[in-house]
Amino acid sequence: MKGMHGIIFSYEKRTDLRELIADRIHGSIPFAGDYRVIDFVLSAMVNAGITDVGVIMHGKCQSMLDHLGSGKSWDLSRNHGGLTLLPAFAYNEKRGAGGQYRGKVEALAGVMNYLKGIRQDYVLLSDSDLVINLPLEDVLRRHIDSGADMTAVCTTVPGDVSDTYFTVNDSGRITDTVYDVFAPMGCRCLNMFVLSKELLLQMVTECASRNQFSFHRSILREMGKRYHFHAYVYDGYAAHINSVQSYYQRSMELLDPALRQALFCPERPVYGKENDSPSSYIDPSGPCVNSLIADGCDIQGSVKNCILFRNVRIEKGASVENCILFKDTVVKSGAVLRSVITDKHVTVSDNVTLMGHEHYPIVIAKGSTV
């Protein structure tokens, strides 16, 4: 069967997201007012005609399980195929990894039986912490036309020194792979790859037999010397959410209408979990300026340059600026917030002042009262 099968990695890994992943894994972090981070990759897959998606999970995955459910919101609730949730149980406990995968290869080896049952000829591998909206059908077409063994999606927009970077020649072939660099160089890897099912099984089997677990080191770098790896350069909006600072900056960027339109383009809609919240109420005397407001909010105070998720309540006399407030946050009268991220079910008491900075936002943990 031709076509493409989606595999999304959504498990615990080392990042600087602190309180934002205290009760969840990376892909289930709320983003852009009405979505979770995983919604963007999942929607891109669905928009490209992918009907079978496996999500590899490990660790604090209850939030992800609740969010994805049967996959109905993405038209992936099917009798055959559709969305398959792949929580790992005892695979790497014997390896002493503290309940965490040591790399993508180990995660793939843990679901080998699932991989063998894939019906499609090609497989798309992607992280869940990538905010992007790209035409994946074009990625597959370019992969086939190039005759490559594997195609990696990358961007010329530099990122962190901890990212992986490619050297790409004039024909689009990846000639070198580097990581943990002193300065960004070449094309930055977005951790999204297309390859055949057969090659994926071959690579995972070979690496597992040698106790190699790193996709970047064992496959991209070492196997890249004997396989043809091609680059698909995408310079549209693409953001990895791997720290509190990157989460805050990437979120606040969405207040720019042009950037928001580029991410939420009508030809490739972004789907999220359905909700039944009522329309938001905004008191005309607020004011509410340059903000993203989800359904169900009650705004009677002052809100400027903010992103408010569903059912947030800002009482009269409160002032909120440059903040991201998750679902069911309550800001009491007289409170003043600047550059603050509140997780779900947070209450900010009367007359409390919280002053963060755009480079060091304050994060309030889920369920807290301050």
Domain count, the chain: 2
Q: What mean pLDDT comes out for the span 4-30?
A: 88
Of 19-23, 101-105, 163-167, 205-209, least confident by mean pLDDT is 101-105
Same domain flag for 132 and 230 = yes
Amino acid 96: pLDDT: 44
Per-residue pLDDT tens over the stretch 170-208:
999 999 988 877 788 889 999 999 999 999 999 999 998
Same domain flag for 125 and 165 = yes
Q: What mean pLDDT comes out for the span 29-40?
A: 96
Return the CATH number at 354: 2.160.10.10
Q: What mean pLDDT comes out for the span 114-119?
A: 95
pLDDT band at 93 (very low <50, low <70, confident <90, very high): very low
Residue 100 has pLDDT above 80, yes or no: no
Q: Does residue 274 lie within any of the structural domains?
A: no
- Beta carbons within 8 Å of 63's beta carbon, 6+ residues apart: 23, 24, 25, 28
Q: What mean pLDDT comes out for the span 104-116?
A: 91
Q: What mean pLDDT comes out for the span 64-75?
A: 94
Amino acid 99: pLDDT: 53
Nearest to 207 by CA among 99, 94, 102, 109: 109
Residue 94 has pLDDT above 60, yes or no: no
Same domain flag for 247 and 310 = no
Residue 119 has pLDDT above 50, yes or no: yes
Return the CATH number at 126: 3.90.550.10
Same domain flag for 43 and 118 = yes
State how far the Cα of 303 lies from the Cα of 319, in Å rounded to an integer.
6
- Beta carbons within 8 Å of 105's beta carbon, 6+ residues apart: 203, 204, 207, 208, 212, 213, 214, 215, 218, 219
Same domain flag for 223 and 301 = no
Amino acid 210: pLDDT: 87
Same domain flag for 245 and 337 = no
Query: What is the percent of the chain where pLDDT is above 90?
Result: 73
Beta bridge partners of 340: 362
Same domain flag for 197 and 302 = no
Q: What mean pLDDT comes out for the span 310-323?
A: 97
pLDDT band at 214 (very low <50, low <70, confident <90, very high): confident
Amino acid 12: pLDDT: 73
Same domain flag for 286 and 213 = no
- Among 7-16, 144-153, 182-191, top mean pLDDT goes to 144-153
Same domain flag for 290 and 254 = no
Q: What mean pLDDT comes out for the span 266-281?
A: 92
pLDDT band at 14 (very low <50, low <70, confident <90, very high): low
Q: Does residue 370 lie within any of the structural domains?
A: no
User: Which of 263, 298, 333 marks a domain boundary?
Assistant: 263
Q: Does residue 272 lie within any of the structural domains?
A: no
Residue 17 has pLDDT above 60, yes or no: yes
Range of the domain at 341: 281-364
Of 106-110, 123-127, 135-139, 195-199, least confident by mean pLDDT is 106-110
- The tokens describing 229, both together, are 């790896």
- Please report the beta strands in 180-335, taking only residues with DSSP state E, as ranges in sequence order: 187-196, 229-233, 238-240, 281-282, 288-289, 292-293, 298-299, 302-304, 307-308, 313-314, 319-321, 324-325, 330-331
Same domain flag for 106 and 200 = yes
- The tokens describing 326, both together, are 């998750």
Q: How high does pLDDT run on average in the chain?
A: 91
Q: What mean pLDDT comes out for the span 111-120?
A: 94
Residue 215 has pLDDT above 60, yes or no: yes
- Among 7-11, 43-47, 79-83, 105-109, top mean pLDDT goes to 43-47
Same domain flag for 256 and 172 = yes
State how far the Cα of 83 lies from the Cα of 77, in Å rounded to an integer.
6
Residue 355 has pLDDT above 90, yes or no: yes
